Amino acid sequence: MGQSGQRRVAPERIAACLFDLDGVLTSTAVQHMAAWKQTFDAFLREREGTNFAPFTEDDYLEYVDGRPRADGVRQFLASRGISLPEGQHDDPPDADTIRGVGNRKNETLQTIIREHGVTPYPGSVRYLEAVRGAGLTIGVVTSSENGASVLDAAGLSQFVQARVDGLVITEQNLRGKPEPDSFLAGARALGVAPAEAAVFEDALAGVQAGRAGGFGWVVGVDRTHQADELRAHGADVVVQDLADLLVADR
């Protein structure tokens, strides 16, 4: 299907679409947040006693959402005046290091995913089909080290021509979102300039990365009532669901 005579899936200058995963294509952002809450609340309770101030959704959206695992731990603990030694990537989950706390959360996340499964947003699947049908290329750019398994579990790997995930970010020593490096790597992998690529993101750090990289179209996906913040951090347009983009004239 060409784009002439059809509603466009994206502005004409766009040849490639780079999708964040958790919260954009799949509903796993909710599972990440639940795993972080369990992990941080247990950590704070042990450190500060039963009067500890719990980890909130606002904490998640500001310090953790969209960022690589260790960056999320470091940022959130810093907001509470706590610093831990960095540790090593494969620290055991009971280590009181940045990496250990992150790996604790990963164990919890994997249990939650095993119990509840992974669901793609139906509107996102429809949009992916339309993007593919319109002849645009598709990449996934996620900070998550679980990116490949989540895409597989959601049945979405068939759409993806390039994947930059948390493991690639570590291997290639890229700076995490809100820096643009991972999206720039995604555009390189698809052979397009940033101006020819669109970024689809639900996280403030993610739209910020899209803006910082000079991407041609930054779409904020508002899953948590933060449309104004998404715009303020760099979204050109904000939708509730990717399928909303299929009805808009442009």
Residues of this chain that interact with ligand BG6 (CB under 6 A) are 22, 29, 32, 64-66, 68-69, 72, 106, 142-146, 166, 203
Task: Decide whether 65 or 196 has the Cβ nearer to ligand BG6.
Answer: 65
DSSP 3-state of 22: strand
DSSP state of 194: G
Taking the complex as a whole, the smallest distance from the CB of residue 4 to ligand BG6 amounts, in Å, to 36
Select which of 20, 65, 71, 91 is catalytic.
Answer: 20
Known catalytic residue at 249: no
Those residues whose C-beta lies under 8 Å from the C-beta of residue 26, and which sit 6 or more positions away, are 118, 119, 120, 121, 124, 150, 154, 156
Taking the complex as a whole, the smallest distance from the CB of residue 145 to ligand BG6 amounts, in Å, to 4
Show contacts of 5-9: CB within 8 Å, 24+ apart.
Answer: 6/134, 7/246, 7/247, 7/248, 7/249, 7/250, 8/134, 8/250, 9/127, 9/130, 9/131, 9/134, 9/136, 9/245, 9/246
Task: Decide whether 10 or 164 has the Cβ nearer to ligand BG6.
Answer: 164
Taking the complex as a whole, the smallest distance from the CB of residue 68 to ligand BG6 amounts, in Å, to 6
Taking the complex as a whole, the smallest distance from the CB of residue 150 to ligand BG6 amounts, in Å, to 8
Residue among 160, 163, 168 nearest 138 (CA): 160
The total of other beta-carbon atoms located within 10 Å of residue 179's CB is 17
In this structure, the chain runs to a length of: 250
Known catalytic residue at 152: no
Task: Decide whether 146 or 208 has the Cβ nearer to ligand BG6.
Answer: 146
Task: Decide whether 15 or 74 has the Cβ nearer to ligand BG6.
Answer: 74
Token code pair at residue 204:
């403030």
How many CA atoms does the CB half-sphere of 60 hold within 13 Å?
21
Taking the complex as a whole, the smallest distance from the CB of residue 64 to ligand BG6 amounts, in Å, to 6
Select which of 22, 59, 91, 202 is catalytic.
Answer: 22
Task: Decide whether 113 or 212 has the Cβ nearer to ligand BG6.
Answer: 113
Active-site residue set: 20, 22
